[in-house]
Homo-oligomer: A and B are copies of this chain.
Amino acid sequence: MTIIVKKFGGTSVSSVQKLKKIASNLVEEARNNNLLIVLSAMGNSTDKLEALSEKICKAPNPRDYDMLLSSGEQVSVSLLSIILNNMGIDSVSFTGWQAGIQTDSSHMSARITKINVKNIQSEFRKKNVVIVAGFQGIDSKNNITTLGRGGSDTTAVALAAALKAKECQIYTDVDGVYTTDPRVFDKARKLDILTYEEMLEMSGLGSKVLQLRSVEFASKYSVPLRVLHAHNAGTGTLIKKEENKMEGALISGIAFTKDEAEIMIKGVKDQPGVAGKILGPIGDAKIEVDMIVQNVGSDGLADFTFTVSRNTLKKALQVIEKNRKSMMYQSVISKSNIVKVSIVGVGMRSHAGIASKMFKCLAKNKVNIRMISTSEIKISVVIDQKNLEIAVKALHNEFKLDKK
């Protein structure tokens, strides 16, 4: 029988009513497939457990904190199994350790090291639906661990890889991955198919449908990943490895992030090591830097410009002021009302001229480009925030993303 892994997040399992809906949607598929269901904790139950811990202290000891949090998924999986069994569909619920999910000992952000699928396969042989608690595992000393944010997606993908499942289906509150955010441009179109790399660039850049880590995992083990709506019908978006026939589309989507801020350090010496002198203290302060541009002037001095997340701007400026001596600059200019817009697509690998097409389009629409950065399958520009909608719409039309 075909093995299919399905993962449902907290919102789609927030009540017994919703769990019943999920269960009745599984009936048909359970007849002809081996189904493995991965669940998050119900609705805000993890938040409630966190709130209990916060009544004690801000930094709970990680081992017992994982023990606390992991109880949430135990509730959702056992309830779904009670529902399925009550409907006459044989099923069994597993905690992370019962499902054979072994991790390292990094509590609160553990990594899966090995999956022993013996128990699951034995249940599949009995034609049972297997329901596994997401987000959790066990380390080599039998301590319960959790995988950190988005951990249930990772659980699902890792199990799909270990079981050589046909597909790993991630049920969310959206119909799939769109060419751009439909709230910004109503001509945004749902994509039927996408490569892992494109999805990584898309989700990293703001289309937050899937956790980056689970996409990386899926890519590493070539697990076909499908994003679907938890309660609406539809085929969602399939994310898989690149194939020849996929070359048709130049650009798959337009991603953007709104929470950017730009810092320009003017008049630094144009000599080796200057970037390190500036970015060293910034990194030490745990501030993440995104785009970096250096312009060399004719006077032997350079302007060094980079972007940071908007909520770290103030801290970054303090670090720069504090390190004025070692950084040796003339002045600092910062700007927070900027955004980053990116076009993403594996097609640009084999097609020249995409970048100039993008820049011409933006120029035609009077959108000034402040910074540019490119990778193999993505071109990003930093522009003024007020131009976000104009830029997204213009590029969407330019690359004909509303048409298949």
Could you tell me which A residues sit within 8 Å of B by CB distance? 16, 20, 49, 52-53, 55-57, 60-61, 63-65, 67-68, 70-72, 74-75, 77-79, 81-83, 85-86, 91-93, 95, 98, 119, 142, 144
Tell me if A61 and B75 are in contact (CB < 8 A).
no
Q: Closest CB of chain B to A18's CB: distance in Å?
A: 12
Q: Can you report 19 A-B residue pairs in the complex whose CB atoms are below 8 A from each other?
A: A52-B79, A53-B79, A53-B82, A56-B79, A56-B83, A61-B85, A61-B86, A64-B79, A64-B81, A64-B82, A64-B93, A67-B74, A67-B77, A67-B78, A67-B95, A68-B79, A74-B74, A95-B144, A98-B142
Inter-chain contacts of A55 with B (CB < 8 A): 16
Q: Give the CA-CA distance A56 to B86 in the complex, in Å.
A: 8
Q: How far is the CB of A107 from chain B (nearest CB, A)?
A: 12
Which listed residue (B74, B83, B92, B142) contacts A119, Cβ 8 A? Answer: B142
Q: Are B49 and A75 in contact (CB under 8 A)?
A: yes
The one of B60, B70, B92, B93 that contacts A82, using a Cβ cutoff of 8 Å: B60
A64 x B52 contact (CB < 8 A): no
Q: In the assembly, what is the distance between CA of A357 and CA of B213, in Å?
A: 80
A70 contact set on B, CB distance < 8 A: 74
Contact partners of A67 in chain B: CB under 8 A:
74, 77-78, 81, 93, 95
Q: Which residues of B contact A119 (CB under 8 A)?
A: 142
Decide if the interface of chain A is mainly helix, strand, loop or mixed. Answer: helix
Which residues of B lie under 8 Å from residue A71 when comparing CB positions? 71-72, 74-75, 78
A96 CB to nearest chain B CB (Å) = 12
Pick from B49, B64, B82, B142: contact of A68, CB under 8 Å = B82
Contact in complex: B64, A78 (CB < 8 Å): yes
Q: How far is the CA of A74 from the CA of B82 in the complex (A)?
A: 20
A275 to B53, CA, bound (A): 60
Q: In whole Å, how far is A364's beta carbon from the nearest beta carbon of chain B? A: 58
A284 to B82, CA, bound (A): 30
How distant is A101 from chain B, measured CB to nearest CB, in Å? 13
Determine if A82 and B61 form an interchain contact, defined as CB atoms under 8 angstroms apart. yes
Q: Chain B residue with minimal CB distance to A82?
A: B60
Asked whether, in the complex, the Cβ of B81 is within 8 Å of the Cβ of A61, the reply is: yes
Cβ contacts under 8 Å, A20 to chain B: 56
Distance (whole angstroms) from the CB of A77 to the closest CB of chain B: 7
A261 to B63, CA, bound (A): 53
**Chain B residue at minimal CB-CB distance from A60:** B82
Shortest beta-carbon distance from A129 to chain B in Å = 12
A-B contacts besides A52-B75, A56-B82, A98-B142, 9 pairs, CB < 8 Å: A16-B52, A56-B79, A57-B82, A60-B86, A63-B92, A64-B81, A67-B77, A67-B95, A68-B74
Output the nearest chain B residue to A83 by Cβ-Cβ distance: B56
Q: Which of B57, B79, B95, B144 contacts A86 (CB 8 A)?
A: B57
- A90 nearest in chain B by CB position: B61
Chain B CB within 10 Å, residue with most, of A20, A57, A67, A95 = A67
Q: Which residues of B contact A95 (CB under 8 A)?
A: 67, 144
The distance from the CB of A150 to the nearest CB of chain B, in whole angstroms, is 22
A86 contacts across to B, CB distance below 8 A: 56-57, 60-61
A72 to chain B, nearest CB (A): 8
| A102 CB, min distance to chain B CBs, angstroms | 14
Find the B residue at minimum CB distance from A142: B98
Measured between alpha carbons, how far is A76 from B335 in the docked complex, in Å?
49
